[in-house]
Amino acid sequence: MGCALSRSRPPAHGGGIIDVMTPTRVSIVIPTRNAGSSLEHLLAAIASEEGEFEKEVVAIDSGSTDGTLERLRQSGATVLSASGTFNHGGTRNVALAHAGGEFAVLLVQDALPLSRGWLPALIGPMLTDPLVAGTFARQVPSAQASRVTAHYLRQWIAAEPQPRSVGPLDSPELSSSS
């Protein structure tokens, strides 16, 4: 999940908080490669989320041959082609350069939101608090996940069930005093 993109509108009322009464445009970026029919579940989750957002899906594909491109186009997504070797950061950066939203949400093709309120939960804190620069969500392995994937997801800091806050960035515990 990224903070407001450089093309975002100025803060409302000079207070650093974006006007929540105006629909916020959110770019949802998904790198893909042979996502298969499971992509339909992710696209349905994006379409059925509860937020009052203007959404655009920007997918960047690395050579799919299984109908992934057709599924994306049918859903109305902008589909880009990744040139060269896939790179987690570089490939997403290419897609982000084509994103028109005030905010960007980075998803993966094989993870599904757990509720219909996932997008407001991610974007809401940045709309209401000028000190929040980004958010992220818990990742819970699916029942079909490999044992290795499940193990690594459980070790990740975002796997903890309790909310986690870090900051402000100038707080003593985050600054290096050595």
Distance CA 59, CA 99 (A): 10
- Judged against a pLDDT cut of 60, whether residue 3 lies above it is answered with no
Distance CA 102, CA 90 (A): 20
Q: Dump pLDDT digits (tens) for 99-117.
A: 999 999 999 898 888 889 9
Which residues are registered as beta bridge partners of 81?
61
| Assigned domain for 67 exists | yes
Q: Do 78 and 122 belong together in one domain?
A: yes
The confidence score (pLDDT) of residue 144 equals: 74
pLDDT, average across residues 126-149: 82
The confidence score (pLDDT) of residue 11 equals: 42
Residue 174, class by beta-carbon neighbours within 10 Å (0-12 exposed, 13-18 middle, 19+ buried)?
exposed
From the list 146, 56, 145, 35, the residue with the least C-alpha distance to 105 is: 56
From the list 62, 16, 64, the residue with the least C-alpha distance to 37 is: 64
Which residue segment(s) compose the domain that 176 sits in?
A: 138-178
Single pTM value for the model: 0.76
| Assigned domain for 74 exists | yes
> Is the N-terminal amide bond of 141 cis, ω within 30° of 0?
no
Q: Do 32 and 80 belong together in one domain?
A: yes
Q: Is the Cα torsion angle 75, 78, 81, 85 positive or negative in sign?
A: negative
| Assigned domain for 59 exists | yes
Q: Do 39 and 123 belong together in one domain?
A: yes
Q: Which residue type, as a one-letter code, is found at position 92?
A: R
Q: Do 117 and 38 belong together in one domain?
A: yes
Q: Do 29 and 109 belong together in one domain?
A: yes
| Assigned domain for 3 exists | no
| Assigned domain for 31 exists | yes
Q: Do 73 and 158 belong together in one domain?
A: no
Distance CA 45, CA 32 (A): 16
Q: Do 75 and 57 belong together in one domain?
A: yes
Domain count, the chain: 2
